[in-house]
Amino acid sequence: IRGTNAGWTLGYMLNMTNMIPAEQPFTAPLSHSTYVFLMFFFSLLLAIEITAALFILNKPAHFWEEM
């Protein structure tokens, strides 16, 4: 860079880079019971949504004419 000094910016970035941890901290996974509950809950929610969509979309033709 013509006539400018970029030394302090490079040093600052190297210093900030050294503050980043080398490894991610350990995070415990979900417990088995929590995992099973979440899978059951979201599966049930999906089944309810699909059932509601089928009831709404399978209305007779005269229902849609009124809207």
Domain residue ranges in the chain: 7-66
- Number of H helices and number of E strands within the chain? 3, 0
Most confident of 38-42, 53-57, 59-63: 38-42
pLDDT per residue as tens digits for the range 6-50: 676 777 887 788 787 778 778 888 999 999 999 999 999 999 999
What's the confidence (pLDDT) of residue 4? Answer: 66
